[in-house]
A and B are shown apart, each in its own frame.
Chain A
Amino acid sequence: MSYFRAENLSLHFGGLKAVDAVSFAVEKGEILSIIGPNGAGKSSIFNLISRIYHPTTGKIFFEDQDITEVPAHGIARLGIARTFQNIELFENATVLSNLLVGRHRHSATRLWQEVLFLPSVRRAEKEHRHRVEQVIEFLDLEPFRDKLISGLPYGVRKVIELARALCAEPRLILLDEPSSGLNVEETDDMSFWIRDMKSELGITVVMVEHDMSLVNRVSDRVIALNYGRVLAMGTPAEVQRHPDVIAAYLGA
């Protein structure tokens, strides 16, 4: 059994088939990239996995559990975290509180305990903070702890979103265009972090990406999509040589 599996996944908006009978599997500890032209259905697949959309047909399995009916907020509790294509950070909060929200799935304190701020709450808060600091160190975010998101540049926000996802201590992470809007050095950093996430933290990574050099550097396997259907699947080199993929990109 695969670690993560999508079976015959479809998402139809009226007559438009955004995702059309897509099946794929992800093995534990691998980095899988999903590529494809704009509107191919890449982000829709992510939104299906994180349950923002409900699939028209098909099932999703994670760690041998059917997660097709799990509510959207339950997905994080299972150990799946994600980032967003257009950055969905909490704009009017500090970096630190953004990252602490990432710890939400690990918080077990009750409302009345929090109102009184009992010692148990304080202990839990320090534990959360300790984990957050580890992520801050991993992604070199030390200078930004107390800054408001609304005053930070795009490249930093992108890293903070990744950090927030890592604070949830996921086992599977979905990265929606991690390098969009980043310059060459920042993209390099991102590629190192993605590989470190796999090798040091043991996280399985599924990412949507347009930057082929990044895809080539980090991916174990690649899926190419067009018009919601799978065109090709395999190693980066195989997929790039595939005639259907060349046709989709170059319009032959």
Chain B
Amino acid sequence: MRFLFKTDYDDDIRLFPHSGYVFSYGVLLALLVTAPFVLSSYLMSQLVFVCIYATVGVALLVLTGFTGQASLGHAAFLAIGAYTAAYLQQFGVPFEIYFIVAGLLAGIVGAIVGFPALRLQGIYLVIATISFAFIVEEILARWESVTRGNEGMRVKTLQLFGATVPRDSPAFYFLCLAVLILTIVGTLNLLRSPTGRAFVAIRDSETAARSLGINVSLYKVKSFAISAGITGLAGCLFAHKLSFISPEMFTLQLSIEFIIVILIGGTFSLHGAVLGAIFIVMIDPFLTYLKDDVPGIIGSLAAAFGAGSARAGHIQDSVAAVASANGLKGAIYGIIIVLFVLFEPLGLYGRWLKIKLFFQLFPLYKRATFKRQKLYVKSERNR
């Protein structure tokens, strides 16, 4: 186990507390940079989606994880970013500009949504953000002169600094990776500054935050704007990756996927956004595997255990029927959320920390270290 001997206030400020972090993140970065030259094009495409989802995850963590304001409307901010990109692109606006505009516009809309949110808490805020997402979806479908309605919009190939960047090229992957890394670094900077601490203060006790001079309304709006703005940037990349966007891509289902990203990843650290994004994006290949290969495997297993060929064929067919049932994805999402909330509320990152501690303390680790404690009664009177 490593003991940090702190001699300077900088020791508590720097992003990498010790050289071990520099080494492990360096290795991770090296792997990510070599990925396009090693992995198949399908996996590379999935990796781009991981980057985009993780960027949205970071945005959602700022709002939900750190400021404590739940949102089920982030698909709408993504849509605003995507449609801004697609619309401005038609007039020959360069990527460098419409990328920024997509973020700004989504951020402004986020701030506007933030105002009614000042008076809402918990489940009511969730309902308000869902309604907002429905409104945006409806506008996208009806405002045909701008969005072409349900026909959808084609997004031309990305032009960056005069070079063409196809959506399946390594360069596009590097662009998404760079956006993700910059978002994470910017957010980490924010979290170690007064603004980030104010967000956490609002999450844990608005009354105390107010009594210490934090303008709670202002910071909630700021949090909404920042979160929506980052999501808008991700939306711009999302549009380019898909090369075609239509309103039915930005439904409640997508907002729920974003919530799952942070719930499964862990809501208390930015690591959670990345882990959750990997999880949610990799569910698709897993489902394909479930459909294509698992029935055959189970069928041959049944045959190996002495079932007759007719019986084995029957088993194989019924497994295939289950694996390709409609709505299996939704059901799996639901089960996963329930299991995580019940057994691992700290998410994948929390699990990782436990595993790490297990090895650090090796023979002495106790499960009770992470036992959830009863909280002291908190005053609800001053809300």
Q: Which residues of A contact B (CB under 8 A)?
A: 47, 50, 52, 71-77, 81-82, 84-93, 96-97, 100-105, 107, 109, 111, 114-117, 121-122, 125-126, 129-130, 150-151, 154, 164, 168
Instruction: Assess the B212–A101 pair: CB atoms within 8 A.
Output: yes
Interface size on B, as a range, is 35 or more
Q: When chains A and B are docked, how far (Å) is the Cα of A72 from the Cα of B194?
A: 19
Among B163-171, B258-266, B308-316, B372-380, the one that faces the other chain is B372-380
**With A72-B210, A101-B198, A101-B209 known to touch, is A125 a contact of B193 (CB < 8 Å)?**
yes
Whether, in the assembled complex, B192 has its beta carbon less than 8 Å from a beta carbon of chain A, the answer is: yes
Q: Which residues of B contact A89 (CB under 8 A)?
A: 204-205, 208
Instruction: Report the tally of A-B residue pairs with Cβ distances under 8 A.
Output: 128
Shortest CB–CB separation between residue B346 and chain A, in angstroms? 11
Q: Which residues of A contact B216 (CB under 8 A)?
A: 73
Main secondary structure of the interface of B (DSSP, over half): helix
Q: When chains A and B are docked, how far (Å) is the Cα of A75 from the Cα of B207?
A: 13
Instruction: Assess the A114–B194 pair: CB atoms within 8 A.
Output: yes
Q: Which 3 A-B pairs have the closest CB atoms?
A: A76-B213, A114-B193, A105-B213
- Scoring B residues 183 to 202 as 1 if CB is less than 8 Å from chain A, else 0, what string do you get? 00010011011111110110
Whether, in the assembled complex, B244 has its beta carbon less than 8 Å from a beta carbon of chain A, the answer is: no
**With A91-B375, A121-B193 known to touch, is A52 a contact of B382 (CB < 8 Å)?**
yes
**With A93-B200, A97-B200 known to touch, is A104 a contact of B212 (CB < 8 Å)?**
yes
Whether, in the assembled complex, B13 has its beta carbon less than 8 Å from a beta carbon of chain A, the answer is: yes
B189, B193, B222, B379 — most chain A CB neighbours (10 Å): B193
Whether, in the assembled complex, B138 has its beta carbon less than 8 Å from a beta carbon of chain A, the answer is: no
Q: List 16 A-B contacts (CB under 8 A).
A: A84-B207, A88-B207, A88-B378, A90-B201, A90-B203, A92-B200, A93-B204, A97-B197, A100-B194, A101-B198, A104-B201, A111-B222, A117-B193, A130-B9, A150-B373, A150-B375
Q: CB within 8 A of B204: which of A90, A100, A114?
A: A90
Q: When chains A and B are docked, how far (Å) is the Cα of A101 from the Cα of B196?
A: 10
Q: When chains A and B are docked, how far (Å) is the Cα of A100 from the Cα of B192?
A: 10
Q: When chains A and B are docked, how far (Å) is the Cα of A93 from the Cα of B211?
A: 17
Whether, in the assembled complex, B340 has its beta carbon less than 8 Å from a beta carbon of chain A, the answer is: no
**With A47-B382, A72-B211 known to touch, is A101 a contact of B201 (CB < 8 Å)?**
yes
A52, A82, A90, A93 — most chain B CB neighbours (10 Å): A90
**With A102-B212, A114-B194, A115-B186 known to touch, is A126 a contact of B207 (CB < 8 Å)?**
no
Q: CB within 8 A of B200: which of A50, A74, A90, A125?
A: A90
Q: Which residues of A contact B193 (CB under 8 A)?
A: 109, 114, 117, 121, 125
Q: When chains A and B are docked, how far (Å) is the Cα of A87 from the Cα of B189?
A: 29
B10, B196, B213, B214 — most chain A CB neighbours (10 Å): B213
Instruction: Assess the B215–A101 pair: CB atoms within 8 A.
Output: no
Q: Which residues of A contact B222 (CB under 8 A)?
A: 111
Shortest CB–CB separation between residue B68 and chain A, in angstroms? 10
